[in-house]
Amino acid sequence: MKRIDFGGKVPKVYKVSKIIRMQHCDAAGVVFTPQYFNLFVEALEDWFREELDFGFPQMVVEKNLGLPAMRFVAKFFKPSKLGDVLDFRVKVKRLRRNNVLVNIEGVCGSERRCMADVLHGFADLDTMALTDWPNHLLLKLEEYLHQR
């Protein structure tokens, strides 16, 4: 296995917990699969606000920038139920000048429940075209980069 040299720094992992509520579930109290996508986006939005200091209101409303999903690959391992607490872990798998491949994993206790690899572009909403990351954001994203 090839070791990755991070220059002595250990890449960060963002963690956030989400309780499974009735709004996420079908009538039997099991998470309705499309609701996982909302949970993935919530974890991403929390990460941008709490750790990257570039919340979606600032990004979208003030700066007229956005993060369109360009590719979304999800896997589901075990069902989640009403009342479960899922711990979402967010890390960067690949970072380019105008896009980022993010891995989001949801676990409950020691059980892996779901995972998504999401390629997000960074877009100027005026032109509807990809644009380069601002330097301050690029530097923060690099702190979460787990593959180089």
By residue range, what is the domain housing residue 57? 14-142
Is residue 88 in some structural domain? yes
Q: Using DSSP, state whether 135 is helix, strand or coil.
A: helix
Is residue 9 in some structural domain? no
**CATH assignment of the domain containing 53:** 3.10.129.10
Calculate what percentage of the chain has a pLDDT beyond 90: 93
Is residue 119 in some structural domain? yes
Is residue 8 in some structural domain? no
In tens, the pLDDT along 8-66 reads 689 999 999 999 999 999 999 999 999 999 999 999 999 999 999 999 999 999 999 99
- Distances in Å between the Cα of 21 and the Cα atoms of 15, 78, 87, 113 are 19, 17, 14, 16
Is residue 122 in some structural domain? yes
How many domains does one find in the chain?
A: 1
